A and B are shown apart, each in its own frame.
Chain A
């Protein structure tokens, strides 16, 4: 069965600190509890981030991955990118220039559905293997 979970785009607030991080997590938590959550965080409005904000992002990604989902970042400003790089968390997130690109990336990596008309064993057969050897 193929995944049809929609990609959720969420806009981060202007500041992501201790207080904002808590409310952000509270808002995001229900979305993380679905099966294979696919979330894009739009950082275009984000102006300030502190370690509590980074922790909130890491926690969200961890929760998403626990349920076989993923969390991606979009429109990260140079300053926030520099912070992520300094704290060595930049490599943990997939970052895209725009939210649209991030959404597209989820569709791009979705496994192609096998054609229903053919049985699962209709690929190479034993004869092919014998001829190859």
Chain B
């Protein structure tokens, strides 16, 4: 079998989610979900299917905050300015080196279907392209005949389904992670066992998954199902419940309750808070229940663990920073959103 997989930009693949996902410092496909990002999981999936090459195409605007790890020599990453022409060039390159068929997939797409079945279906159809389709519509997943694709404009080929292309119905679990809400759904479905995605780590009790080096205080309460990522610390008198996931290198401080929420990697959550139906990353908090984005400027409430280390090296006091105020950074994507700032934590006095 010959195949290649391309990483499409999360923005163009799911424009409705582009504004929201920029909150989380990079594409959602590169955000760790239960210990491993969707990009890494997609690459693993194609490598398991024994493809010859995997090309990860990252649009230049998505480069900041985009990272993934892969030890395989079959995987190459490229920064591209135009995703469609880059896909076309890559398919042409595949064709020149003798690769007949290629998968094209958005890295945002989580799918439980057997990709080999898609390949066999496509091969029998003898079309230039086969696009995945589920109950809700077309998916960002294609199987392409590299030689035939050269005859067409790649963007038109991937978007249309007529005589040159066909569709393949996917009945298995699908989640096109375009919004933090989809991320929460994926976490919940995974922890419930509704999809094949499994957390990275050990299941120390039924439904409680813990990554390597995670610390859970003996007076904290973790209610299954839940996930605590590697090197994360759950402090005293905390509560983690209702399908919550705390990714790697996080710290949940004294008395805080995390309910139906995702704490993304490198996030410090302050004392005596309540995060409910939310996704937190660094000092950004997206309340899914209220559909609002909050920027918390008080580092004692919510902050990035990475910035703490960096600032401690520079010898900056967080109290001083809180008093001086932190420059407000408004994302151009958030025109309709109002910026909310929170400084000193009244609970800490």
Is B285 an interface residue when CB atoms closer than 8 A count as contact? yes
B273 contact set on A, CB distance < 8 A: 86-88
Which residues of the partner chain A approach B290 to less than 8 Å between Cβ atoms?
A: 78-79, 81-82
Contact of B287 among A50, A55, A78 (CB under 8 A): A78
Residue interface mask B4-42, A partner, CB < 8 A = 1: 000000000000000000000000000000000000000
Given contacts A47-B338, A48-B340, A58-B346, contact A79 B292 (CB under 8 A): yes
Closest partner residue, chain B, to A18 (CB atom): B343
Tell me which residues across on chain B come within 8 A of A104, comparing CB atoms.
none
Q: Does A97 contact B (CB under 8 A)?
A: no
Interface membership of B67, Cβ < 8 A:
no
B257 and chain A: residue at smallest CB distance: A88
Q: How large is the interface on B (under 10, 10 to 19, 20 to 34, 35 or more residues)?
A: 20 to 34
Give the complex CA separation of A18 and B344 in angstroms: 10
Instruction: Say yes or no: is A9 at the interface (Cβ < 8 Å to chain B).
Output: no
| Complex: chain A residue closest to B293, CB-CB | A79
A residues less than 8 Å from B347 (CB atoms): 87-88
Q: Which of A17, A18, A86 contacts B274 (CB 8 A)?
A: A86
Give chain A residues whose Cβ lies under 8 Å from the Cβ of B341: 48, 50
Shortest B303–chain A CB gap in Å is 14
User: Which residues of chain B in 301-349 are interfacial with respect to chain A, using CB atoms and an 8 Å cutoff?
Assistant: 301, 338-347
Q: Residue A78 contacts which of B272, B291, B342 (CB distance < 8 angstroms)?
A: B291
In this complex, how many residues of chain A approach chain B with their Cβ under 8 Å: the count is 21
Contact A87 B346 (CB under 8 A): yes
Q: Is the interface of B mostly helix, strand, loop or mixed?
A: loop
State the main secondary structure of chain A at its contact with B: helix
Task: Check B285–A86 contact: CB distance below 8 A.
Answer: yes
Q: Does A49 contact B (CB under 8 A)?
A: yes
The answer to whether A88 and B294 touch across the interface, beta carbons within 8 angstroms, is no
Contacts of B291 in A (CB 8 A): 78
Q: Does A65 interact with chain B (Cβ within 8 Å)?
A: no
Partner among B272, B292, B298 whose Cβ is within 8 Å of the Cβ of A82: B292
1/0 contact string of B259-285 vs chain A (CB within 8 Å) = 000000000000011111010000001
CB contact under 8 A between A50 and B343, given known A82-B285, A88-B273, A88-B274: yes
- Please measure, in the bound complex, the distance between the C-alpha atom of A32 and the C-alpha atom of B222, giving whole angstroms: 43
A30-64, CB under 8 A of B: which get 1 and which 0? 00000000000000000111111011001000000
Indicate with 1 or 0, residue by residue over A78-92, a CB within 8 angstroms of chain B CB atoms.
111111011110000
Write 25 A-B pairs (CB below 8 A) sorted by A numbering: A48-B338, A49-B342, A50-B341, A51-B343, A51-B345, A52-B343, A54-B346, A58-B346, A78-B287, A78-B290, A78-B291, A79-B292, A79-B338, A82-B289, A82-B292, A82-B294, A85-B274, A86-B273, A86-B294, A87-B273, A87-B345, A87-B346, A88-B272, A88-B274, A88-B347
